[in-house]
Chain A
Amino acid sequence: MVRLRQRSSKRIIMAAVLSLGLIAASCGKKDDGNTTNVTTGGTEATLVPSGDTTGATVAAETTVAADTSPSTTPAPAVTPGGEITVSGEAEVTNPWTPAAMQCDSYCQERARSFFDPIAAIGDDNKVHPYLAESITPNADSTEWTIKVRSGISFTDDTPVNADAVITNIQRSGLGLLLAAQLVDLAKVPTAADPAKNEFKIEKVDDMTLTIFTGKDGDPAQPLPWPGFDFYLTGQLGLIASPAWLTAVDTDPTKATAPIGSGPFIVQSYAPRDSLVVAKNPNYWQKDANGVQLPYLDKITFKVIEDSTTAEGALRSGDIDVFADSNAAVIADFVDDTDFSMAKQEQFGETNYLLIDGAKPGPYQDARVRCALSMAVDRQELIDLTGGGLLKPANSVFSPGQEGYLEDNGFKIDQDIVGAKALIADYQRDNPGPVAITYGHTADRTGDQVADLLKGYWSQIGVDTTVETIPQDQFITNALFGAPNFFIYGWRQHAGFKVDEQNFWWNSKSYAPDGGLSLNFDRIQDPIVDSSLATARSDPDPAARQAAAEAINKEMAKQCYQIPLSYALWAVLSTPKLHGIGETTMPDGTQARDGAGFGGQFWVNALWLDQG
C-alpha cells in the first residue's frame, strides 16, 4: 500500500488520505505486484430524504460476490460474546487522528471499529447516512447539508453534534492530500487568523451543518458536485472526539489511544504489532431484533505482513479472519471448504506500472510505453505471480467502475513483433539503445514481477535496470518525482466513479519533478482534463459516463499506464465466525464490505458460534 510518508505528531497533520488510501505495496506486502491503492468513494447523491435520481446510474452489475459462510443463509440465532483475532498485512497508519492517518484498507477497517463515519456505502452502491441522519444537497448540488443523529456520545461522554463534525472536517481538510481532493470546496479566512483559510461550513443548528462548494476554493463560484457525498464515506467522514483531538495537540503520544463513538473502545495499541479493542457497552446501534451491537466482546487486530504466514496462522487457529489480496494465497482457499471466503471482485484496484511521464527520455514517448506494454505476457504473469486467478487488465478502470470498457482499444495481448516495431520506430528518431529503470518495493511478489518484466523487455531489446525502493520512499518518490522514479510497480484506483480519480489525473495536480504532484503519471492531457471536469459537474449521468469512457480510451491510446491485472481481494475466515458482509446500516441497508478500499470489512456484526 502506498504509504504516504508523512506523519504527524501533533499538528503535523498530514496528508492523510481521504478514504483514498494510498496504500503502498510495501509494508512487507507480498502481493501482486505492488501497489497503491487509492480510493475515494464516490457515488451519486442518493441520500435518504431527497431522492436524487442521478444515483440510479451507478455501475450496472454491482454485486460483489459475497459468499460468506454457508451457515449464515438460514440466519441462525446470533450469539453475542466472544473474542476474535484479526490480522492485516501492514501497518501504514501512525497516529489515529482522522486528519493524519495514512489509511489503507486495514487501517480503515480498524478505524471503523472505534470511529463512526458520517456516511457509508451500501450494497446498492449508494451513499447512506450513518452517523448523520441525513445528507442533503441543494438543487444544483453546490451546498450539502448534514444533519447529525442526536443522542449519541463519544466514549469520553462528550456529545456528537454539529460542532464535533465541523471540527473534524476542518482538521481533516488540513492534510495535504485531503486538501488536494477537496479543491472544489469553498474556502474562507478563519475567524482567528485571516491569513489562514478553512472550509466554508455553516452551522445551521446544534445538529445541522452545511458545506459549500466553490470552484478551486472560490466561494463566489459554487461548483455543482453531485458526487461530493462520496467523500464523506471515507477518511474525511470519520468523526473523532474533539476533546481527544485537542488533547493530542498538546500530547502527541495520546494519538495512540483514539476516542470515537464507534462500536468498540481501544484498549491498547502497539505500533506495527497489535491493536486491541473491547466492546462499547453503550453503543448507539442495535440489530433488527433489538440486540445490542456489537456482538463481539473483544477484537485483537494483529499485523502479519506476510500473506502466506497469515494463511498458516488461520489454518492453525492463531487468527480467525484476514483479508488478503495475494492471489496465490486466495487460490489455496478456493476449494477449501474448511474455511469461508468472501471475494471482492469489483470496483477494486488495478495492478499496473506507473510511469513518470515527465522524465526525459523514452518515458515521454507513447511508442515506448506502448511497446513495453505489448511485450508483457499478462496471462503468464498472472499464472506465475497471481495463482492464475486474476483477470488481465486493459486499463486502470476495473470492472464495475464508471468508464470501464471491455474494449477500449488497448492491446492487451503479448505482441513482441509489434512492440519491436514501435521501438524501432522510436529509435529512428532517437538513435541509440533504449534503457529503462524499473523500481519496486522489496517484497516477494514484487521481486518476482520485476524479474519477469526484465525478461519480457529484454525480448524487445530494452535493457532494464531493476531497483528495489525502500517502501518508505516508494510513494514519496512518486509524489515528488524523485530522480530514481521512472517506472514503479503500483496498485491504485479503486472506486465507483471516475470523479474519485479526478485529482490523480488532473493537470491541476501536476507538478514538474521535484514538486509535489498527486498526478503521479504526470499526465497533462486536455482530453483527460475536460472529461474530468464534465465527470465532476455535469448534471446528466449519461454525460458523466461518456466522459469517463473518453478518459479510459485516451489513456489506453497514450499508454499513460501499463495495466497488468485487476486486484482481487478475499476475506478469509474460520467457519465459526459469522456476519462478514452482513453489517446493516442505521437506515436498514446492508453496508458494502470493501467499498472504497479492497479488503476492508465491517466488524460490527461479526459473531461467533458459542460453545
Chain B
Amino acid sequence: MRYLLQRLLQFAIVFFLVTFGVMVFMRIGMNKPGDPALTMLGGTVRLDQAEAVNARYHLNGNVFGQYWFWLEKMFRGDFGVSVQQNTTVAKYLSGRVLVTIFLGFYAVLWALIIAIPTAVYQAYKRDSRFDRGGNFLSFLFVSLPALVLAPFIIFLFVVKLGWFPRTGEKVMPWDDLGAHFRNFFLPVVVLTLPLAAIFARLLRGDMIQTLQSDFITLASAKGVPPGRVLWTHALRNSLFSLLTSVGVQLGGIVGGALVVEQYFNMKGMGSLLLTSILSKDLFVVQSVTAIVVAVVCVANLVIDLLYAVIDPRIRHARALT
C-alpha cells in the first residue's frame, strides 16, 4: 500500500511537471504585446482583438495563473477551446481519438497474440530451428520502422493486389464491421509487426531465465504436465519486462501512429498534435499532451498493480528501492 501511494505521488509530480513544462515551452517566444493570442491567431489580427482573446482565456496573467486556469477547467472535464478552429478541444478530439484508440488497441492486442505463443515456444525449444528463425525474424522487424514497412505493405496490398483501400476510413465497428476491419487492417499490420518483434524478444529472454529457475524444475519433477508448467507457471513469472514494455509502448502508439496516419491519411491524434503544435494552438497541445501523459501514467500504474497480482514478491522487492 505504501508502495502504491509512493507511485501515485510520483505520477502526480510527473503529471504536473510535464503539463506545466509543456505549457511554458509552448509559450516561449510569445512575448510581444498581445501575446500569446497574437501569435496563436496570426499575423493580421488586430491588437485589440488579440487582447480580447487573451482576456477571455486568461492568457495574460502570469504562468501559474494561466496554468491554474487551464488545470482547474481540465479537472472539471473542460479541455478548453481551439481558438484557431473555433471549436472545443473535446469536440475537436472526439472525431479523432477513436481512430488512435482502435489503432493502438488492435496493434497491442495482435502484437501480444503473435508474440506470446511464439516467444514461449521459442524459449521451450530453445536453439531449435524455430527459435533461430523466430529470432531472426524478430531482429528484422525490430529494425523495420513503420516508415520503411508501410511503403512495402502499401505497394503489395494496395497497389499490386488492391485488397485494401488506399486511405483508411474511420468506419466504426458498430456501423459496419467488415468495412471497419478492411480499413484498419493495413495500418494495424504496420504498427503490429515491429511491436510483436519487441515483445517476443523480451518475453523469450525472460522465459529462458524463468525456465532455468528451481521452481520450474521442481514443478516438472513433481509431475506437473509440461504444458501447464510452461503456460502457467513459467509464463506468469516471465511477464515483467513484457508488461513494462506494453506500458511504455502505449504512449508511443500516439507518436508511432503518426507515421501510419500520414501514409493512410487517417486523421487521428497524431496528426492533430502535429498540426496543433505547428500552428501553436495552445489549448489543444496542452490538453492533448495532458491526456496522453495521464494515459501513460495510469497504464504504468495498472501494470505496477498487475505485477503485484502476478507475483507478491514484487511488492516487497519494489518497496525497497
Contacts and interface: CB of A to CB of B under 8 A. Distances in A.
A95 B42 CA distance: 14
Contact of A6 (B41, B52, B81): B41
Interface string A503-521: 0000000000000100000
A480 B280 CA distance: 19
Contacts of B279: 472
A600 interface: no
A165 interface: no
A253 B44 contact: no
A364 B175 CA distance: 61
Contacts of A475: 43
Contact of B45 (A6, A95, A309, A317): A6
B92 A479 contact: no
A305 B275 CA distance: 12
Contacts of B44: 4-6, 14-15, 176-177, 476, 479, 516
A306 B279 CA distance: 19
A103 to B, nearest CB: 14
B84 A309 contact: no
B265 A12 contact: no
Nearest to A303: B267
Contacts, number: 126
Interface string B237-280: 00000000000000000000000000001010001100100111
A14 B95 contact: no
Interface string A1-35: 00011111111111100000000000000000000
Interface in B32-81: 40-46, 49-50, 52-53, 56, 81
Contact of A472 (B86, B91, B165, B280): B280
Interface string B115-139: 0000000000000000000000000
A318 interface: yes
B26 interface: no
Contacts of A10: 52-53
A304 B167 CA distance: 9
Interface stretch (A55-63, A265-273, A277-285, A352-360): A265-273
A523 B317 CA distance: 74
B278 A12 contact: no
B88 interface: yes
B158 A5 contact: no
A471 interface: yes
A14 B49 contact: yes
Contacts of A480: 43
A180 B204 CA distance: 69
B52 A312 contact: no
Interface residues of A, number: 45
A312 B275 CA distance: 23
Interface residues of B, number: 38
A135 interface: no
A12 B275 contact: no
B162 interface: yes
Nearest to A479: B43
A162 interface: no
B217 interface: no
B212 interface: no
A497 to B, nearest CB: 25
A5 B82 contact: no
A274 B267 CA distance: 10
Contacts of A271: 82, 85, 87, 92
B166 interface: yes
A476 B279 CA distance: 12
Contact of B165 (A253, A255, A274, A318): A318
Contacts of A8: 41, 45, 49, 86
Interface of A: 4-15, 94-95, 176-177, 252-253, 255-256, 269-274, 303-306, 309, 312-313, 315-318, 470-472, 475-476, 479-480, 516
Given A7-B41, A8-B49, A12-B53, 10 more contacts: A5-B43, A5-B45, A8-B41, A9-B81, A14-B49, A273-B267, A313-B265, A316-B158, A316-B165, A470-B278
9 contacts: A94-B85, A94-B86, A252-B81, A270-B96, A272-B272, A312-B166, A316-B162, A472-B280, A476-B44
Nearest first, the 10 closest Cβ-Cβ pairs linking A and B are A5-B42, A312-B166, A476-B43, A12-B49, A271-B85, A255-B86, A15-B44, A6-B44, A270-B95, A176-B44
